[in-house]
Structure 1
């Protein structure tokens, strides 16, 4: 039985906290009114999904279709803006305060129970083998087109694995692992609410992304963060749509997320999921790296 959104929100909160919560606590965590929480908890109790304000085994079973089952890391590119350090090291493997950038992302996945991890590699591919000492569960996908096409070529390699899957840009420095969630009701893209931005942004209406563009300002502008989740149905659609756009005129020059958000957007309703500047940062240039980690400032 498919859960309603409100049923999911309450079950997800109980599962994430792994303990019983009061209705007042559930009101704070879900954003639903106390009356709504009370009504939905009665529904969930009758279904056998909760008891004494805690989630049951049946409740965990009901959440299972919404669980993130795998993670795909897009890590094939050169990282030209981080020259000179990327001459010898792929950007995701660059160390910040002694820790590889990608490690924070992988650790957050494992913490959320996501153990099926794929890394799409290309530039200096063999260097990613070092990850296997710490993360023996990783599997590698090879992108032979990384130097001739945009990152849509990496999604093409992984297109049959996108259902119930996170997709990560592998060069994001994560500070708050809690933003990598175990359960998702629908496909979503992380973004930061901004008054104005010159970066890649989403225009959002009623919580759903309606446009992707560079730069913007206003109440509905969200700056894109390169972490998204794709539910089972959307993952199946992406497997075909990515191939179709890649094969179309100019398709090799596209960014992969433009498939569901631009070129085939009528087939998707991708929600925005909020995070904040302090949660994660993309290190775009060597100057930014030096500002974060003074050991590079020599």
Structure 2
């Protein structure tokens, strides 16, 4: 790091300063500072006022600083912030307030104070929430389309053009900086660091006597650790980004932090991840030691509660307020929050309250379009006496919010364990034979028509033979409609993951969102396709449910609902794909069920007259 540059910067910022003040600002002994000042005087960088004993910057010193001017800043804000649920279900972590000020806004204002106006925010999750910053602060937004399944290495890669030929700060939107630590001029690349006493799982830094980073270890004790802002000089970026780009292009690096690249270079281990980088030298970066209580990276809501008392009992979050109201406790007693699920239909988080664990489900955007919550509540109310579902503490038929007991030590059913499958089918049988009824049905024709309508033709663009297959499904619907079959209450979503096997030997069936009156065979069919069963496995499942006593009509209905269910859930996945969510091969597998099982029905003579109009 250029000490002449640092000397000139400190004089520039203070205008006129004494030797003692310079020594303190640069963390130098008076003797070392005296030698540095003497050389700077000789080089014509600074001047001494003999009357006041203060130093000022000369033209040559000002010119020296120009190559160190900070040109821009990049703020990472693409991630979800899972450890801050449920707050981050509604608000990105960087937009949370600390002492009434949003964390990202505080950093932008501090950058502006240092004269840094070229600021790019890399967004992903809830990207629209950051749009107002364009007008308020004149920032630019850069979207990272891979934010949902890759880590910060990818986010920095996406922003790589923002660093080329520039001196640039790299910041995290969720840092809180007490005193402004940004400068108009920086005289060498650095990583902010704080001292952690005792054992830590943070990334611990090794540095030379002059502060040059020489190594990184994940975890340590009594160490200076990576913590907070980073500064990339243009020279550092020129050497660093070619390596980061190689990492991005290498499979297996998707979940890496960008700091892993730096750590590998410093530790001489880059070749373990990217063989071609084995001998690539580490670009120079220095440690920037920060005092205690200067830089904050809040790991979870509990840490934020300690720092800002507002969050103890007034987080201004609907889910937290509901939990506190339902359980008759202050928000401060809602602890150990963990994200369980985040999607378009539902978002869920796990929490503890007074030594018991619960799950709170929050309906996602668009949930009213996909799920009738009043009907769902009616099902939960109807089956309560059976004791086969999760223990629901609270359920709203209006909002869809649900709070239920969490079963410690429970496991999901295993579709490859026929013992598990037998127990699951036994519970389904109990439901079907319970005699419980509700006022609504699960209508396969209506659901197919509905999902087709919201796909808006996208499905026809994806599948060349869609209209042909749709005609086959219409045929099956007509044949099923001609059968005088008894309807029972059905779960519909009978995937093995929805069966919980409890430590005490009990079993529960959860998530009744689609439940309604229907032919009981639909639950068996859905269990088959959700488990990706082949024909032999599908037959075995049917035999288990029917205890080996299978009529031709039962098999016909079973096959029909496998075909129709495959078609329905394929449309569901196509719709999700149209709004940006992907499900890999799921769409293809479901479509194949529709086609293959229709073929089985029309080629089997045993089914020729069942539901036909002959």
TM over 0.5: yes
Check the 8 A contact 1:202/1:224 in 2, yes or no. Answer: yes
Aligned partner of residue 65 in structure 2, secondary structure: helix
Counterpart position of 1:271: 286
- The Cα offsets for residues 231-265 of structure 1, whole Å up to 9 and x where unpaired, read as 11111223322211011121211101211222367
- The Cα offsets for residues 93-131 of structure 1, whole Å up to 9 and x where unpaired, read as 111222111111111111111111010000000110122
The structural deviation recorded for 1:293 is 2.8
Distance in 2, Cα, partners of 1:201 & 1:154? 20
Distance in 1, Cα, partners of 2:117 & 2:63? 19
Check the 8 A contact 1:159/1:238 in 2, yes or no. Answer: no
Shift of the 85–112 alpha-carbon distance from structure 1 to 2, 3 Å rule, reads same
Counterpart position of 2:116: 114
Counterpart position of 1:10: 7
| Aligned partner (choices 253, 256, 259) of residue 254 of structure 1 | 256
Check the 8 A contact 1:159/1:242 in 2, yes or no. Answer: no
Distance in 1, Cα, partners of 2:34 & 2:207? 29
Matched, 1:29 2:25: yes
Q: Report the structure, 1 or 2, having the larger strand content.
A: 1
Deviates more, 1:44-53 or 1:143-152: 44-53
Matched, 1:188 2:185: no
Counterpart position of 2:299: 284
Check the 8 A contact 2:192/2:288 in 1, yes or no. Answer: yes
Check the 8 A contact 1:261/1:268 in 2, yes or no. Answer: no
Aligned partner of residue 61 in structure 1, secondary structure: helix
Gaps of 5+ in 1: none
Counterpart position of 2:310: 295
Distance in 2, Cα, partners of 1:113 & 1:261? 31
The structural deviation recorded for 1:134 is 2.3
Higher relative contact order (CA 8 A, sep 6+): 1
Trace 1:156-235 onto structure 2 (pairs within 5 A). 156-162=157-163, 163-177=166-180, 179-206=181-208, 207-218=211-222, 221-235=223-237
Matched, 1:40 2:55: no
Aligned partner of residue 44 in structure 2, secondary structure: coil
Distance in 2, Cα, partners of 1:79 & 1:240? 29
Distance in 1, Cα, partners of 2:23 & 2:225? 28
Distance in 1, Cα, partners of 2:206 & 2:21? 28
TM-score using structure 1 length: 0.90
Distance in 2, Cα, partners of 1:202 & 1:40? 31
Trace 1:18-167 onto structure 2 (pairs within 5 A). 19-52=15-48, 53-136=55-138, 138-162=139-163, 163-167=166-170
Q: Larger Rg: 1 or 2? A: 2
Aligned partner of residue 168 in structure 1, secondary structure: strand
Distance in 2, Cα, partners of 1:175 & 1:37? 28
TM-score using structure 2 length: 0.45
Check the 8 A contact 2:206/2:214 in 1, yes or no. Answer: yes
Distance in 2, Cα, partners of 1:197 & 1:56? 48
Check the 8 A contact 1:161/1:235 in 2, yes or no. Answer: no
Aligned partner of residue 60 in structure 2, secondary structure: helix
Aligned partner of residue 71 in structure 1, secondary structure: strand
Shift of the 39–257 alpha-carbon distance from structure 1 to 2, 3 Å rule, reads same
